[in-house]
Amino acid sequence: MWTVCLLLYTVAAHLCSVQGICLTWNATKDNAFLECQVLGDFSIESQIQLMDSDDQIRVKCSIYDSPYCVAREEGDIVFGEASNNGFKLVFQTTTKNVQGIWKCFHGRESANMHIDLSKGIMYSPEIHLSGEIKAHSKMTLTCYSCTIPDTKSAYLFVNSVLEDVVRLHEGKCYRKRRQCSQTECSCSTEGNYFTWSFSSDLSYLEFACEMRFKDEETSLLSIHTATLYYNNTGKCSFCIV
């Protein structure tokens, strides 16, 4: 049985342009909530699908012309929302048989997520770090997580030394204690996507982006880090570790 849900449209302001796909989850005693976000221009592909740990399609969203979402199982609830930030699918099901690896697909892009109710959500956040050379000796890093970090901040390290902290505060983006200029850094409106520019003449650099996540139930903090190597003498300018 498939349940149909019409979509709502909203408008929100950008602080920076975001691209990609995210899949996150949360749970109560009886229900699990999954959220798949297609960030940026989602109109290129006409369909979004959510697959459960048994490789069964549980949700289909058609986002072409008159968008709508369909839930396959009776009792499942699905909600879709489109905005100029992208497209968000929210799925609710019971916690029975929800554990395992879930997947969300949008064209060639996909996101995986491992649900383990015994460990909770704090062990699963992933950080994505990439780099781009803008000009001679100047490079820009992009660091984001599908889960919003505590204090909406990203800690940037260069060669194991804390170089900067980019954070969203009251709708504005800051680096350390001053507001970012357009060429220095940027934050998404949600506070989970950051860009940061850095200049160096060194031929080899190790970058790291650290985010801290807080479990709302236990108030415990977990720290997650992504690392990226820059080497202008080899075939790979930016190499993910």
As given in the structure block, the two tokens for residue 103 are: 């997947």
Give the end of a domain, one of 72, 96, 121.
Answer: 121
This prediction's pTM: 0.70
Both 220 and 174 in a single domain? yes
What range defines the domain where residue 162 resides?
Answer: 127-240
Single-letter residue type at 11: V
Single-letter residue type at 147: T
Give the end of a domain, one of 72, 92, 121.
Answer: 121
Q: What is the DSSP letter of 42?
A: -
State the total domains in the chain: 2
Cα atoms found within 13 Å of the Cα of residue 196, Cβ hemisphere only: 26
Both 204 and 131 in a single domain? yes
Domain with residue 68: its CATH number is 2.60.40.10
Both 181 and 198 in a single domain? yes
Give the end of a domain, one of 102, 121, 140.
Answer: 121
Local confidence pLDDT in tens for the 241 residues of the chain = 443 333 332 222 224 444 578 888 888 889 999 999 887 665 656 788 999 999 999 999 887 666 788 999 999 999 888 776 678 889 999 998 899 999 999 888 888 888 888 877 655 678 888 888 877 778 999 998 888 899 999 999 999 999 999 999 999 999 988 999 989 999 988 899 999 999 998 888 999 999 998 877 677 888 999 999 988 765 556 665 5
